[in-house]
Amino acid sequence: MQLLPGFRDLFPDDCARRNYILSRWRETALRYGFVEYDGPVLESTELYRKKSGGEIVGQLFDFKDKGEREVAMRPEMTPTLARMVIARERDFRKPLKWFSVSQFFRYEKQQRGRLREFYQLNCDIIGEASLAADAEIVALVIDALRAFGFTAHDFVVRISDRDAWLSFLQAKGVDAGGGQFLQIIDKLERETEEATARKLGEFGLNLGEVREFIAEPGVHFERFNQLAADLDARGMAGFYRLDPTIVRGLAYYTGLVFEVFDRKGKLRALAGGGRYDNLLRDMSDGAVNLPALGFGMGDVVLGELIADTPAAVEKWERWRQSAAEIYVVIAKEDRRSDAIRAVQEMRENGLRVDYPLAPAKVGKQFQNAEQLGARFAVLFGDEWPAVKIKTLATRQETTLPREELLGRIQRLAP
Ligand code: HAM
């Protein structure tokens, strides 16, 4: 009865951490005026074979369903989003700014930062060709990380432009196989020099000229420079840099692409994205021709970076402590029904309240309150018909008539 490799049991602490990540993501996307959507977990395998391309196709959790359909658990959101937009594009004003927070499945080799099941925040803008949209998306990826307490010392967005590489190829007189060439560049950091040199040889190119282009990208990255000006105006100058080696593994990208990494370079990518201006057109045989761009950010590497960054841990701890705000301590069992009435009253007024289901020593109840991270204890005991409020962090106590409890606690724990 063992857990499958690459899958996670989320015990309450893990679940709280997962929920923290998901709620910060939602908050940030909403702040940028994005609206939430979702799609099915299962799609026809065809969708990914044709549209994602690259490594992902070999990592599908795919099978035949009982109706003999070839289906796959979703490994990413972008093809689903494109399918949905094509189906009802006319119903929405452009540009669409849509986000989703959902679970994905890839049959990858389990390693640090890579599991077979993970969550992603996906944010995409559809129907806007101008660079303003690229800047908005990169700013959003930066703020989605700043929401966790990270600064420019913790992560960096590495930005590139696929078209710059395609013009490099053109300048070298190579006019076919752009996609295959980009795959070589995508694997540059992961493959041996010999293997890379051999593959480049098939295009009549050598590693030297590729390295030269990376070192002196010059005029080919004009679009990057314009994007940089927009980001700088937002005060985001330290958060990104040009990196021609980023070309992205998925087949549908066109134009600007980016990946986000931790500054120490210890972890795998936190997020990745870019433009995919032709995907909707290709998927709809030309019927819907809308430019598009976006990114996906995963929860696994992000969780590791949080654990590694003291400021982010502190922020998470503060969030967690707001979970159980009030613990009602029943110091005298004959006050239990008065206590429960007060619990109910506070809950109905939106407060988070817990109390002991069975009789227990007062000391034990306080221990419980602290373990749950409660901020206040409310005592029902000898003081009756008054009650006592204790602020757990400062040990400060106030005794007040029972009727004043709700008003006072609402002011203390808004
Ligand atoms: P991706 O680069 O394949 O892009 O994934 C984005 C992020 O998802 C990665 O940077 C990583 O944090 C996380 N991720 C991917 N695979 C795994 C895994 N096996 N385990 C844990 N985390 C993982 C896409 O998926 C594109 N559809 C993103 C996009 C949206 N592009 C445009 N719009």
User: Tens digit of pLDDT for each residue in 22-40?
Assistant: 999 999 999 999 999 999 9
| 386 in the same domain as 254 | no
Tally of domains in the chain? 2
* Averaged confidence pLDDT in the chain: 94
Q: Which atom of ligand 1 is nearest to the CA of 77?
A: 27
> 150: which residues sit within 8 A by CB, 6+ positions away?
305, 309, 311, 312
| 341 in the same domain as 312 | no
Q: Which of 317, 337, 369 is the last residue of a domain?
A: 317
| 335 in the same domain as 281 | no
Q: What distance in Å separates the CA atoms of residue 151 and residue 7, rounded to the nearest whole number?
A: 30
Q: How many CA atoms lie within 13 A of 86 on its CB side?
A: 18
* Structural domain that includes position 170: 12-317
- Please report whether residue 7 resides in a domain: no
Pocket of ligand 1 (CB under 6 A): 76-78, 106, 108, 114-115, 118, 120, 122, 124, 269-273, 294-298, 300-301
| 377 in the same domain as 263 | no
> pLDDT class for 146, splitting at 50, 70, 90?
very high
Torsion of CA 51, 57, 59, 61, to 10 degrees: 70
C-beta separation of 258 from 295 below 8 A: yes
Q: What is the CATH number of the domain that holds 378?
A: 3.40.50.800
Whether the predicted pLDDT of 271 surpasses 70: yes
Residue bearing the bigger pLDDT, 389 or 180: 389
Whether the predicted pLDDT of 322 surpasses 70: no
Q: What are the structure tokens assigned to 126, written together?
A: 């559809």
Report which of 398, 328, 322 is spatially closest to residue 366, judged by C-alpha positions: 328
| 331 in the same domain as 219 | no
Give the per-residue pLDDT at 329. 98
Which 3-state string (H, E, C) describes 191-250?
A: CCHHHHHHHHHCCCCCHHHHHHHHHCCHHHHHHHHHHHHHHHHCCCHHHEEECCCCCCCC
Report how far ligand 1's centroid is from the alpha carbon of 56 (Å). 10
Exposure b/e, 80-112, CB count within 10 A at least 16 = b? bbbbbbbeebeeeeebbbbbbbbebbbebeeee
Give the per-residue pLDDT at 414. 65
Exposure b/e, 246-282, CB count within 10 A at least 16 = b? bbbbbbbbbbbbbbbbbeeeebebbbbbbbbbebbbe
Report how far ligand 1's centroid is from the alpha carbon of 119 (Å). 9
Report how far ligand 1's centroid is from the alpha carbon of 392 (Å). 42
* pTM reported for the whole predicted model: 0.91
> pLDDT class for 323, splitting at 50, 70, 90?
low
Ligand 1 atom 13, closest CA: 298
Q: What is the CATH number of the domain that holds 54?
A: 3.30.930.10
- Please report whether residue 352 resides in a domain: yes
| 295 in the same domain as 353 | no
Cis amide leading into 401 (omega within 30): no
